[in-house]
Amino acid sequence: LQTLAAVGVILSLIFVGLELRQTRQVATADVYQQRTALQIEAWSAALYSEQLQMAEQKLSEGAVLSEQDTNLLWVQMILKFSYWENVHFQYQTGLMPAEQWSASRRSIENMFRNNPVSLDYWAVERKQVRQSFAEEVDMILEESVSLK
């Protein structure tokens, strides 16, 4: 009887430990989400949609970009990569479904294929993100280059 009680206590402690771990993961993910939302909100204020649309049009037409165009597209990359890094983090912690990360992977791949500014951005800013996300994006970049 004492053995069963001891096993019950041990199992209870394991369960409590798992609950604490999950609670910590959710709290960490929430902080990560809040940080990303603040970044996106702050940087979004810097983007003027009409100017950004003009810069994107120049880019798609292969026209020469002004410094302002490049800066707007760079800010757009900051926003996109902040969002994608957050999705990746949420996915890694099990709080985001795999299909959401798959959709983000496809978006990153399309961006690399169609937006040369994204390649410049990634070359410069790669070391500013979590290593696991950087490695994943590097794989996506390799795949998108091989698909060209």
At residue 46, does pLDDT exceed 80?
no
Work out the mean pLDDT of the chain and round it to a whole number. Answer: 86
At residue 82, does pLDDT exceed 80?
yes
- For residue 141, give both structure tokens: 């970049």
**Distance in angstroms (rounded) separating the CA atoms of residues 67 and 126:** 21
Q: Which pLDDT does position 3 carry in this prediction?
A: 86
**Distance in angstroms (rounded) separating the CA atoms of residues 147 and 74:** 24
Q: What's the one-letter identity of residue 106?
A: R
Contact 132, 88 (CB under 8 A): yes
Q: Which residue has the tokens 């983007």?
A: 47
- Other C-beta atoms closer than 10 Å to the C-beta of 82 total 18
- The mean pLDDT of 2-14, rounded to a whole number, is 85
Q: What's the one-letter identity of residue 80?
A: K
Give Cβ neighbours of residue 102 (< 8 Å, ≥ 6 apart). Answer: none
Q: How confident is the model at residue 43 (pLDDT cuts 50, 70, 90)?
A: low
At residue 36, does pLDDT exceed 80?
no
Q: What's the one-letter identity of residue 42?
A: A
Q: Which pLDDT does position 7 carry in this prediction?
A: 85
